[in-house]
């Protein structure tokens, strides 16, 4: 099956965009698994809008991931944390969630 030019450009940038989306979501949420879900959703949306957003994809994906994460915080629909760490939580994440 032959892929079109839009697919090639998106797939070339996928890893970079996934890292951006995950980093933004994790800084807001503080949970790696939820951040992965948010990153996947942000990338799916980026793919569906790719012809319009390809010129500023990093910023667009960061904004979408941030909006999705903030929506979860606002609705307080965060799942229980799935990983336990022995080190104290990042105070920056706690302060952002309190804001």
9-22 mean pLDDT: 94
Return the structure tokens found at 14: 């996928």
How far apart are alpha carbons 5 and 87 in whole angstroms? 46
For the chain, give every domain's residue range.
9-98
Is the pLDDT at 82 greater than 70, yes or no?
no
Residue percentage of the chain with pLDDT more than 90 = 58
Is the pLDDT at 1 greater than 50, yes or no?
no
Q: Closest Cα to residue 78, out of 45, 43, 35?
A: 35
93 versus 23: the higher-pLDDT residue is 23
- Does the pTM surpass 0.85? The reply is no
């Amino acid at each position: 099956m032959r892929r079109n030019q839009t697919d090639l450009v998106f797939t070339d940038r996928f890893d970079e965009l996934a890292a951006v989306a995950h980093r933004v979501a994790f800084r807001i949420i503080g949970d790696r698994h939820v951040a992965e879900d948010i990153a996947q959703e942000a990338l799916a949306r980026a793919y569906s809008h790719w012809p319009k957003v390809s010129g500023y994809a990093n910023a667009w994906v960061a904004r979408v991931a941030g909006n999705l994460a903030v929506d979860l915080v606002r609705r307080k629909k965060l799942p229980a944390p799935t990983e336990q760490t022995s080190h104290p939580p990042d105070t920056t994440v706690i302060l952002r969630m309190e804001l």
